[in-house]
C-alpha cells in the first residue's frame, strides 16, 4: 500500500472483487435494474413479523448467497465488515449473528458499502485472504425510524428520496483476476449547513465533490480516465448539484457520471421523487448491475463514490445541520 | 501482519500507542480513578443546550487534546476511526465534523474503542503513519435513548450498569517506542439468548469468554502471560460470570483479571449498581488509567478486551435476545 497525495491509498496488490450478491424488495423489482438483481422479494416482510426482522433476513440471505456463489468456504473468510441504517446497526448484527466470523461493525450511513469495501481492501493487503462486506436498508424500517409511521400516510416532498429495500454483499479476495480495487479515497466529513432532512442529496453533494476532486488531485487522473463515475445515492437533485460543484472546480463529469439512486428507480412511473437512497442503494446497484457490467467488460474502469448523511432524527429536531461524507474506490479490470 | 490460528493477527511492526487523552463527567470525577483523567467536568451539559451536543463537545475536545499532547500536526494524521452509542453515531460525526481528516465511522457498541484501535493498528502496518481513534458516551443521552426519560426517575434494577459520560482518544503511530499493540483478536458475534436489557453483563460475558479463549488458543499464551486482563464493561455481575465461564473452559483468570466498569465507580458509595458501561467506559479507563500504568512500567503486558451489546430499544421491545461481541488487543512494552 502506498499513500498518494492527501487521502488516497494505492494498492500494491489490488484485491479482486471475487463475487457479489443482491436481494431487493418489491419496489426495486419494478424498477429499471430489476433483471440484474439475484433475488427480488414479493413483499416487504418476507415471512417475518416486523420490518426489522425482514431486513435482518435480507442481509443474512445476501451474505449466504455471496458465500455460496463464490464457491469458497465460510471458514476461509477472515472477517466481515457490515453496517446499516437502523439504530445501533441491528440489521447487520442480528442478521449476521450466526455467521461465526470476526465481525467489524461500520457506520457511514448510505456510504457504508464503500466504507466496508475500503476497509476490507486494506485487510486483504495485510492479513486477510478473503473479506466479506455487506450492507442493508429497508424502506419501511427506515421511514418508521427516521421520519413518520408509514400508517400516517404523510406526504413526501419532491426533494425526498426513497430508501431502497435490499442488501448487497461482496467477497474481496487477496488473489484473483479482477475486477480489482486499485485505489481508495476515504472521505472527510463535510457540512455546508444544509438542514432539510428531506433533501439529503443537497446535504451530501458537497462531500461527494470534495472526495471526487481529492481523488483526481491525489492520483493525477481526470474524469475521462473512467468509463463511469457513480455516486452512491445523491438522487436527481443531488446529482445536478454535484455536476455543478464539480464544474465550478474545473471538472466536467456530465458525460460519464451517474448516480445509483437515479439508476434504481424510474422517476416518471415509480413515485420515488428524487430517487433511491439507503445503505442498500449503492450496495445493490453495484452488486447487481455494475459488478456484472465489469465482469462482462462493458465497463472497465469505474470510480464508485458512496455518499452518506451522518444525522439522526434527534439532531434534526435539535436544529442541527447535516454532515455529509463520501468514500471513493477505483475499480478496474 | 501474520494471522495466527483462527482469529488473531500478529503485527510484524507493532504500532505504538503514542498518546492518549480522557475527559469524563461529574460522576466519574467522584470515582476511584478520578485523578488519572486529563479533565473532569462539573456538570453534564458543559455549557451546551442538550446532552447530545455536550457529548459531541466531549469527543471533540478529547481528540483536540490528544493531538495537542502528541505534538504531531493534525495534517500528519492519515485517518480517524470513531464511534459512539447514539443513534447513527451522531456524537462522533457531529463532534468530529471539523477535524478535516478521512473518517471511518465504526460501531461495536461498548466494544467500539478496541474495534477502533484494532482497525487503526491494521492501517498503521499499511499506509498510515498516524491514526486517531476516539469514542464517547454520555449517561443522560444514553438513558434517554435506550431506556426512559431521566425526568421520570425510574428505578434501576441491581443488574443495570451506569453509562460513563466521557470520551477517550488515542493516537497510534507506525513508529515509536511503545506501548505496542502486538496482537489483535477481533471477536465474533455471540448470542446466548439473554433478553434482559438491564443485564448487559450477562449478555456480553459469553462473547468475552469466546474471544479470550480464542486469543489464548491462537497465540499459545495462557492467562499468566499478562500482567492484567481487562474487560471493557462487563460490570460486577458480568465479571463474575466471565470468571466462571473461563474456569469451566480450563482458564483461571481470577488473579489478574479486572473490568473497566468495575474499576471506574465505587460500588458502595456511588449507587452505580453493577458498574460502568458505554463506549467511554473502556476508552477513558484505558486512556486515563491503564495507558499511564503502561507508560510508568507498572504494567508491561495487558490484554484489553472490550465488550459490546449489539441491540437497540426496538429489538428489546420486539422480544429479541442480545447479541454480544468482544474485541481483544495485546498491548506490550
Cβ contact B311–A90 (<8 Å): yes
Task: Tell me the nearest-neighbour CA distance from B299 into chain A, angstroms.
Answer: 28
Band the pLDDT of B235: cuts 50, 70, 90: very high
Last residue of a domain, one of A156, A173, A190: A173
A216 and A271 share one domain: yes
Please list every residue in chain B whose beta carbon sits closer than 8 Å to the beta carbon of residue A88: 85, 87, 107, 109, 310-312
Cβ contact B97–A323 (<8 Å): yes
Please list every residue in chain A whose beta carbon sits closer than 8 Å to the beta carbon of residue B3: 78, 127-128
Closest-CA residue of chain B to A76: B6
A164 and A237 share one domain: no
B12 and B44 share one domain: yes
A262 and A319 share one domain: yes
Q: What is the 3-state secondary structure (H, E, C) of B70-114?
A: HCCCHHHCCEEEEEECCHHHHHHHHHCCCCCCEEEEECECECHHH
Which three three-digit cell numbers place residue B6?
483462527
Which candidate in A50, A80, A87 is best for mutational testing of the B interface (most B CBs within 10 A)? Answer: A87
B212 and B163 share one domain: no
Closest-CA residue of chain B to A100: B188
Q: CA A181, CA A10: separation in Å to the nearest integer? A: 9
Last residue of a domain, one of A108, A139, A173: A173
Q: Region A194-203: what's the mean pLDDT?
A: 94
CATH number for the domain spanning B250: value is 3.40.47.40
- Return the number of other C-beta atoms located less than 10 Å from residue A329's C-beta: 25
Q: How confident is the model over A40-98, as pLDDT tens digits? A: 999 999 999 999 999 999 999 999 999 999 999 999 999 999 999 999 999 999 999 99
Nearest CB partner across the interface for A103, out of B85, B312, B325: B325
- Return the number of other C-beta atoms located less than 10 Å from residue B155's C-beta: 6
Please list every residue in chain B whose beta carbon sits closer than 8 Å to the beta carbon of residue A52: 314-315, 318
Asked if A107 reaches chain B (Cβ–Cβ under 8 Å), the answer is yes
Structural domain that includes position B112: 2-173
Q: How confident is the model over B156-196, as pLDDT tens digits? A: 999 999 999 999 999 999 999 999 999 999 999 999 999 99
What's the pTM value of the predicted model, to 2 decimals?
Answer: 0.98
A38 and A73 share one domain: yes
Contact criterion met (CB below 8 Å) for A111 and A327 = yes
Contact criterion met (CB below 8 Å) for B67 and B77 = yes
Cβ contact A126–B122 (<8 Å): yes
Contact criterion met (CB below 8 Å) for B171 and B132 = yes
Number of domains in chain B: 2
Q: Region B74-100: what's the mean pLDDT?
A: 97
Please list every residue in chain B whose beta carbon sits closer than 8 Å to the beta carbon of residue A123: 122
Contact criterion met (CB below 8 Å) for B144 and B196 = no
Task: Tell me the nearest-neighbour CA distance from B296 into chain A, angstroms.
Answer: 32
B252 and B272 share one domain: yes
The predicted pLDDT at position B96 comes to: 98
Q: How confident is the model over B237-258, as pLDDT tens digits? A: 999 999 999 999 999 999 999 9
Please state at what angle helix A235-248 crosses helix A200-219, rounded to 10 degrees: 40
Which candidate in A10, A12, A101, A104 is best for mutational testing of the B interface (most B CBs within 10 A)? Answer: A104
Closest-CA residue of chain B to A109: B88
B314 and B206 share one domain: yes
B155 and B250 share one domain: no
Q: Region B123-147: what's the mean pLDDT?
A: 96
Within the 179-208 window of chain A, which residues sit less than 8 Å (CB to CB) from chain B? 186-189, 191
Last residue of a domain, one of A173, A193, A225: A173
The predicted pLDDT at position B143 comes to: 94
Beta bridge partner(s), residue A10: A2, A183
Q: CA A77, CA B114: separation in Å to the nearest integer? A: 21
Which three three-digit cell numbers place residue B108?
461495536
Which three three-digit cell numbers place residue A120?
476490507
Please list every residue in chain B whose beta carbon sits closer than 8 Å to the beta carbon of residue A188: 99-103
B209 and B96 share one domain: no
Q: Region A176-182: what's the mean pLDDT?
A: 97
Asked if B1 reaches chain A (Cβ–Cβ under 8 Å), the answer is yes
A43 and A145 share one domain: yes
The percent of residues above 70 in pLDDT, for chain A, comes to 100
B169 and B186 share one domain: no
Q: Region A31-48: what's the mean pLDDT?
A: 98
Within the 2-31 window of chain B, which residues sit less than 8 Å (CB to CB) from chain A? 2-3, 7, 9
Asked if B158 reaches chain A (Cβ–Cβ under 8 Å), the answer is no
Q: CA B247, CA B270: separation in Å to the nearest integer? A: 30
Amino acid at each position: 500500500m502506498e499513500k498518494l497525495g492527501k487521502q488516497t491509498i494505492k494498492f500494491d496488490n489490488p484485491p479482486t472483487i471475487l463475487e457479489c450478491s443482491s436481494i431487493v424488495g418489491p419496489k426495486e423489482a419494478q424498477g429499471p435494474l430489476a433483471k440484474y438483481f439475484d433475488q427480488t422479494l414479493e413483499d416487504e416482510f418476507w415471512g417475518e413479523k416486523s420490518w426489522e426482522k425482514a431486513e435482518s433476513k435480507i442481509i443474512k440471505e445476501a451474505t449466504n448467497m455471496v458465500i455460496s456463489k463464490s464457491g469458497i468456504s465460510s471458514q476461509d473468510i477472515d472477517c466481515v465488515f457490515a453496517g446499516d441504517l437502523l439504530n445501533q446497526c441491528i440489521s447487520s448484527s442480528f442478521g449476521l449473528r450466526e455467521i461465526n466470523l470476526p465481525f467489524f461493525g461500520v457506520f457511514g450511513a448510505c456510504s457504508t458499502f464503500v466504507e466496508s469495501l475500503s476497509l476490507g481492501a486494506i485487510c486483504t493487503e495485510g492479513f486477510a485472504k478473503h473479506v466479506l462486506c455487506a450492507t442493508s436498508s429497508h424502506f419501511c424500517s427506515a421511514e418508521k425510524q427516521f421520519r413518520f409511521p408509514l400508517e400516517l400516510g404523510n406526504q413526501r416532498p419532491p426533494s425526498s428520496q426513497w430508501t431502497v429495500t435490499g442488501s448487497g454483499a461482496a467477497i474481496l479476495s487477496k488473489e484473483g483476476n479482477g475486477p480489482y480495487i486499485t485505489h481508495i479515497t476515504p472521505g472527510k466529513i463535510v457540512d455546508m449547513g444544509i438542514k432539510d432532512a428531506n433533501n439529503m442529496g443537497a446535504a451530501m453533494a458537497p462531500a461527494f465533490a470534495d472526495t471526487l476532486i481529492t481523488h483526481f488531485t491525489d492520483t493525477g487522473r481526470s474524469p475521462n480516465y473512467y468509463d463511469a463515475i457513480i455516486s452512491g445515492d445523491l438522487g436527481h437533485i443531488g446529482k445536478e448539484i454535484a455536476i455543478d460543484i464539480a464544474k465550478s472546480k474545473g471538472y466536467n463529469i456530465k458525460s460519464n457520471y451517474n448516480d445509483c439512486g437515479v439508476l434504481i428507480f424510474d422517476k416518471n412511473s415509480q413515485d420515488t421523487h428524487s430517487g433511491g437512497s439507503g445503505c442498500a442503494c449503492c450496495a445493490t446497484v453495484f452488486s447487481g448491475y455494475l459488478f456484472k457490467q465489469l465482469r462482462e467488460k462493458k465497463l472497465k474502469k469505474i470510480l464508485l463514490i458512496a455518499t452518506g448523511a451522518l444525522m439522526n432524527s434527534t439532531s434534526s429536531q435539535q436544529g442541527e445541520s447535516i454532515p455529509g461524507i463520501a468514500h471513493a474506490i477505483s475499480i478496474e479490470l
